[in-house]
Amino acid sequence: MVRIELHPWTAARSLATPIRFAVFVEEQHVPVEIELDAHDAVSLHALAWNAQGEPVGTGRLLPAERHAGRSVAHVGRMAVLAPWRGRGAGSAILVALVEAANERGDAEVMLSAQVHAIDFYRAHGFEAQGDEFLEAGIAHRAMRRTLRA
């Protein structure tokens, strides 16, 4: 079982960065210079903690943008350390971020899913849209979930 905490970047950075680097830079070979970006400072960050009090996963919720008069949130940088995958950490992070978007009044949540994770996001109510595209050399697909009509 994991515990989720939500923090601004100032509180999450020292814990989220090593997780993101382990998953994205080391495992997936995302260039280190693009892993951290200006969105971090303005996003809400989720941290997943195991029973031993160690951070094992992270994700972020960017500030909402207006699209066709609707408030649309974007979830990104979902990362769970390899030994903790398939044990509920990713689901707990995603649920917490979607709940945060819902609580602040966002109408929809969007994300760019790595294609191997599409079924994971579908299980959480997201629907794939459009064609696959490359982001940091990795195949992705846009996904969307409606929160409010």
pLDDT in tens, 30-62: 999 999 999 999 999 999 999 999 999 999 999
| Residue 140 pLDDT class (50, 70, 90 cuts) | very high
**How confident is the model over 67-80, as a mean pLDDT?**
93
Domains contained in the chain, number: 1
**How confident is the model over 2-18, as a mean pLDDT?**
97
Cβ-in-10-Å burial (0-12, 13-18, 19+) of 19 comes to: buried
How long, in residues, is the chain? Answer: 149
Q: Which residues of 35-74 are buried (b: 16+ CB within 10 A; e: fewer)?
A: bbeeebeebbbbbbbbeeeebbbbbbbbebeeeeeebbbb
**How confident is the model over 3-30, as a mean pLDDT?**
97
Question: What is the token pair recorded at 33?
Answer: 């210079």
**How confident is the model over 1-18, as a mean pLDDT?**
96
CATH number for 129: 3.40.630.30
| Residue 149 pLDDT class (50, 70, 90 cuts) | low
Residue 1 confidence (pLDDT): 80
The neighbour count for residue 83, using CB atoms within 10 Å, is 9
Question: What is the token pair recorded at 13?
Answer: 């950075």
Q: What range defines the domain where residue 17 resides?
A: 3-146
Q: Are strands 70-80 and 108-114 parallel, antiparallel or unpaired?
A: parallel
**How confident is the model over 70-95, as a mean pLDDT?**
95
Q: Is the pTM of this model over 0.85?
A: yes
